[in-house]
Amino acid sequence: MSELTDLTIAKARKGLAKGDFSAVELCEAHIKAVDAANEALNTFIMTTFEQAVERAAQSDKKIKSGDAGALEGIPLGIKDLFCTTDVQTTAGSHILDKFTPVYESTITKNLFDDGAVMIGKLNLDEFAMGSSNETSYFGNCISPWKRKTDGANLVPGGSSGGSASSVSARLVMGATATDTGGSIRQPAAFTGTVGIKPTYGRCSRWGVVAFASSLDQAGPITRTVEDAAIMLKSMASYDAKDTTSVDLPVPDYEKTLRDGVKGLRVGIPKEYRVDGMSDEIEQLWQKGIDWLKSEGAEIIDVSLPHTKYALPAYYIVAPAEASSNLARYDGVRYGLRVPGDDILSMYENTRAEGFGAEVKRRIMIGTYVLSAGYYDAYYLKAQKVRTLIKRDFDEAYKKVDVLLTPTTPSPAFAPGEKGGDDPVEMYLNDIFTVTVNMAGLPGISVPAGLSSEGTPLGLQLIGKPFDEAGILRAAQTLEDAAGLLPAPERWWV
């Protein structure tokens, strides 16, 4: 039998049901993998091995008695942005020092109700602000992939770097993640994993540490499209505790997964052919077009004229909402407190020591664009541009069912290679993903091949609102055509 950690969720579920192995064995195999890898990859901020084995034992009982949930006994990692009862939750920040929630996020509750087993809490960029997992208070998280050309360690992308890296390295079978500007899809592309950001409102934001509330949306990172379908079904729900949660039934995504793309109209937005895009990204995109075409999809050129304004508008909207959301970290109700002479200096000292450089930068930009006299010129203007971006998609969807683009403009880079002198250089990573958040649409990244450096590259499918089933189906076709990537070499063992 192949190693238990190499199984997909779908196969593990079958193996557990047949009694080929127990949930405890599956759990212990993953714990062993984490122990061997965490020093090198730093994907876990905290492990919860003891609770995991206990839960797995309960799962074994449920499987025996025929009460197994959809994810019964499946070992998962939880991005440390999801509040988990009695388990420290850090958001990758020093300012949440020792914060231990007394409540469970709706998404983790959904997963646990379905029998999932949490192995631990995963590393991320501080407050999910970053594209390389280099802003975490708990240190850089590293990708299991290395650059073939120079053997360099690589970033796993961000902000869900720990999620993507752990899934790719076979430390967990799947992981929760969140995506505000590309934080699920970009790390998925960098690590050869599948990442889906659902439509805004599909998954509850309740109990997820807030970054930019009008953009934040959670989703899964897995190794196959089928596993993404399984996990998303479990994560998604209507939740009265999130006022932006949408009350629509959650379809059985697995059911339609292999219906193919015959007759599917696939749009190719010309504005995504950006200056300086590498030849191999261009070729990858063409390969994706050819794969879908040969399976019977109709390829149609479309235009999304406001694409280039999405990223600058995002860098007004996201920091503005972040500055408002992060105002709550004042050293009074939870987290770090650094004393001062009076209450104002206590606030200032606490926030100076508690927040990292990138978070401070974004809070300051947000504070500025919302300050008296500038609201109209910045925030209101950006929200108007957002309407135009949404309109572009609405127009395109009169002619097509899904859109196909590259996920990122370049393959993974090494820590320290980007954004050192100019933060904007790092922001450009999200150029193909951020439009989707601005319009509230669903998007998925699928591994589509390797770069000349031997590192994974992803293709992105963007869907109509609440058509997660449609993009998962097209993603399955891409995955079938591209073939699954080999597992990264276990250089850390």
Partner 1 sequence: MGPARIRAIIYEVLMKVDEKLVRRIARLARIKVSDSDVQHLEGELSSILGFVDLLSEVDTDNIEPMTSAVDREMFERKDVVTDGGYPDDIVKNAPERDDHYFMVPKVVE
For residue 479, the tally of other CB atoms under 10 A from its CB is 21
Is 452 part of the annotated catalytic residue set? no
d(CA 193, CA 445): 8
Q: What distance in Å separates the CA atoms of residue 23 and residue 17, rounded to the nearest whole number?
A: 10
Nearest to 472 by CA among 459, 483, 463: 463
User: Shortest gap between Cβ of 476 and partner 1 (angstroms)?
Assistant: 25
Q: How far is the CB of 323 from partner 1 (least distance, A)?
A: 7
Which is the catalytic residue, given 22, 59, 79, 136?
Answer: 79
In the complex with partner 1, the residue whose CB is nearer, 38 or 350, is: 350
Q: How many CB atoms lie within 10 A of CB 262?
A: 10
Of 159, 166, 245, 451, which is the active-site residue?
159
Q: Is 298 exposed, middle or buried (0-12, 13-18, 19+ CB in 10 A)?
A: middle
Nearer to partner 1, 340 or 449 (CB): 340
The minimum distance between CB 421 and partner 1, in angstroms, equals 8
- Give whichever of 163 and 307 is closer to partner 1, judged by the CB atom: 307
Q: Which of 121, 118, 165, 119 is nearest to 140 (CA)?
A: 165
Shortest distance, CB of residue 365 to partner 1, whole angstroms? 6
Of 377 and 484, CB closest to partner 1: 377
The alpha carbon of 286 is separated from its chain's Cα centroid by a whole number of angstroms, namely 25
Based on the residue annotation, tell me whether 79 is a catalytic residue of this protein: yes
Catalytic residue among 22, 93, 143, 183: 183
Do 433 and 181 meet the contact criterion of CB atoms below 8 Å apart?
yes
Nearer Cβ to partner 1 (343/484): 343
As a 3-state breakdown, the chain gives helix, strand, coil percent values, each rounded to 5, of 40, 15, 45
β-partners of residue 77 are 120, 175
Contact 95, 350 (CB under 8 A): yes
Least separation, in Å, of the C-beta of 459 and partner 1? Answer: 24
For 69, other C-beta atoms within 10 Å of its C-beta total 17
DSSP string, 44-92: EEEE-HHHHHHHHHHHHHHHHHT---TTTT-EEEEETTB-BTTB---TT
Cβ 239 to partner 1, closest distance in Å? 13
Write out the E strands in 285-434.
298-302, 402-406
Nearer to partner 1 by Cβ, of 30 and 205: the residue is 205
- DSSP three-state, residue 177: strand
Of 50 and 342, CB closest to partner 1: 342
Q: Which of 488, 468, 460, 467 is CA-nearest to residue 194?
A: 460
Could you tell me the smallest distance in angstroms from the CB atom of residue 350 to partner 1?
Answer: 9
Give which of 28, 21, 32 is closest to 490, Cα–Cα: 32
CB of 383 vs partner 1, minimal distance in Å: 4
Question: Which tokens is 165 given?
Answer: 């890296």
Q: Which is nearer to partner 1, 352 or 484 (CB)?
A: 352
183 is annotated as an active-site residue: yes
Q: How far is CA 35 from each of CA 2, 84, 154, rounded to the nearest angstrom?
A: 20, 22, 20
- The maximal CA–CA distance of the chain, rounded, in angstroms, is 70
Nearer to partner 1, 42 or 108 (CB): 108
Distance CA 486, CA 22 (A): 26
Rounded CA separation 179/140 (Å): 19
Q: Which residues are catalytic?
A: 79, 159, 183
